[in-house]
């Protein structure tokens, strides 16, 4: 059972309080009609699926119900950091800093 820090509640809570919501920082285009089929496919379906650092979204569904972002290692499943929705993708240095 993962332990997840909700950046809104500022608490470490058990995984069962949360729902996963897919990869983070995939912005919905303002005008999807301007997208080609290939671009739209990429938006809909292509995900980075890395072995390692993954930026992803979670919802504190049985808590504050807020969506937030997390950086997690997909090999160890360890959360490196979480941050509020709308915040930019953390830099490598910020992630390293959060590890300590």
The reply to whether 51 sits near another protein by the rule CB under 8 A is yes
Minimum CB distance to another protein smaller for 50 or for 97? 50
The reply to whether 78 sits near another protein by the rule CB under 8 A is yes
> What span, in angstroms and rounded, lies between the C-alpha atoms of 53 and 76?
10
Among 11, 62, 65, 97, indicate the residue that binds another protein (CB under 8 A): 65
Beta strands 67-73 and 11-14 are: unpaired
Q: Is 68 within 8 Å of 82 (Cβ atoms)? A: yes
Q: Is 18 within 8 Å of 67 (Cβ atoms)? A: no
The reply to whether 8 sits near another protein by the rule CB under 8 A is no
The reply to whether 89 sits near another protein by the rule CB under 8 A is no
The reply to whether 38 sits near another protein by the rule CB under 8 A is yes
């Amino acid at each position: 059972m993962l332990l997840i820090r909700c950046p809104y509640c500022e608490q470490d809570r058990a995984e069962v309080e949360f729902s996963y919501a897919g990869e983070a920082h995939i912005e919905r285009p303002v005008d999807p009609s301007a997208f080609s089929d290939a671009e739209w496919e990429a938006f809909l379906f292509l995900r980075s699926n890395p072995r390692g650092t993954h930026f992803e979204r979670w919802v504190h569904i049985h808590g504050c119900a807020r969506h937030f972002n997390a950086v997690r290692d997909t090999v160890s499943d360890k959360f490196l950091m979480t941050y509020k929705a709308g915040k930019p993708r953390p830099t490598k240095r910020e992630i390293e800093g959060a590890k300590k």
